[in-house]
Amino acid sequence: MNLLTQPVGVSHYLVVGAVLFVCGVVCMATKRNALGVLMGIELVLNGANLNFIAFGSHVLNRAGARTLGLDGQLIALFVIVLAAAEAAIALAITLNYYNNQATVDVDHADELRG
């Protein structure tokens, strides 16, 4: 199977989204730096966005198939915007945390431990 000669389908996008998503998750799971975790989140969101776009795209679906259409893109837009907002607030939190703890190691932030 030659990827180059085949039309790209939704699944391909989904695979890429999955990879991104998993990378994001792994990133979140392994990074002790709060900013690293944030980046993982960004990756996860991007993976998700990719899926939305793929499901909404008329390019990737066969004609006549039901797609999300423009909704996918709109949702992706919202996700982007909210991600930005989230990043802002997360950074603020991180800064605050840093101000208090003089570190950004999330493993130190375990005061809510049970």
Partner 1 sequence: MEQVDQLASLVPLLLGGAWLLPLASFTLIFLFGPKMGRHGRLAAYVATGAILGSFVLSITSFTMWLAQHGVTGAPTHASHDAESQQAAAEKSRAFLLEPSTFDPAANHFTSVAYRTDDHHEEAGDDADHLQNDHHGHGTGTSDHGHAAHQAPEKVVYTGSWYPLYRSKTLLIDIGYYIDILTVSIFCMVTLIASCIHFYSIGYMHEELTDELVDNECKLPDGTSLRRRGRFHRFFQYLSLFCFSMLGLVIAGNVAMVFVFWELVGICSYLLIGFYRERHSASTAANKAFIVNRVGDFGMIIGLMALWGSLGTFAFGDVDGRPGVFTLVTQAPGGIPNGMVRLAAYDQIEAGVQPTDEQLAIWREQHLGYGLLIVAGLGIFCGCVGKSAQFPLHVWLPDAMEGPTPVSALIHAATMVAAGVYLVGRFYPVFSPEVLLVIAYIGAITLFLAATIAIAATDIKRVLAYSTVSQLGYMMLALGVGGWLAGLFHLVTHAFFKALLFLCSGSVIHACHTNEMPLMGGLRKKMPWTAYTMLVGCLAISGAGIPFVIGFSGYYSKDAIIAQVLSFSRANPAHAPLYWVAAGGAAITAFYMFRLWFMTFAGKPRDTHIYEHAHESPKVMYVPLVILAIFATGVAWRVPGTNLSLANLIEDGRPVTSMTDGVFWSSLRIPNEHLSHSDVGIHTTATLVAFGTALSGFLLALLFYGTRTLNAEEVQQQFPRIHRFLINRWYIDDLYWAIFVRPTHFIAQRVAAFDRQRIDWFIDSTARWVRGLSRLDDLIDRYVVDGFVNLLATWTYGIGLSLRRVQTGRLRQYVMFIAVGTVALFVLASFLWSYAMAGS
Partner 2 sequence: MHSPIIWHSFFFLLFSILACAFAVAVVVTTNIVRMAFFLVVSLGSTAGLFFLAGADMVGAMQLMIYVGGTLVLLIFGVMLTAQQPFVSMHTPSGEWILAAIVGGSLLAVLLQVAWSVDAWTQGPPLPEAAYTREGTQGNASEALAHDPRFAPSQTATQLGFGLLGERVDQLSVKDPESRAGMSGYLLPFEIVSVHLLVVLVGAAYLARARYRASE
> Contact letters (x/-) for partner 2, 32-71, by CB under 8 A?
xxxxx-xxx-xx--x--xx--xx-xxxxxxxx-x---xx-
Measure the CA–CA gap between 55 and 38, rounded to whole angstroms.
26
Residue of the chain from 1, 3, 29, 65 that contacts partner 1 (CB under 8 A) = 29
CB atoms within 10 A of CB 64: 6
User: Contact 56/71 with Cβ under 8 angstroms?
Assistant: yes
Q: Which of residues 39-78 bind partner 1 (CB under 8 A)?
A: 40
Nearer to partner 2, 12 or 114 (CB): 12
Measure the CA–CA gap between 95 and 85, rounded to whole angstroms.
15
List residues binding partner 1 (CB under 8 A): 25, 28-32, 37, 40, 106-107, 109-114
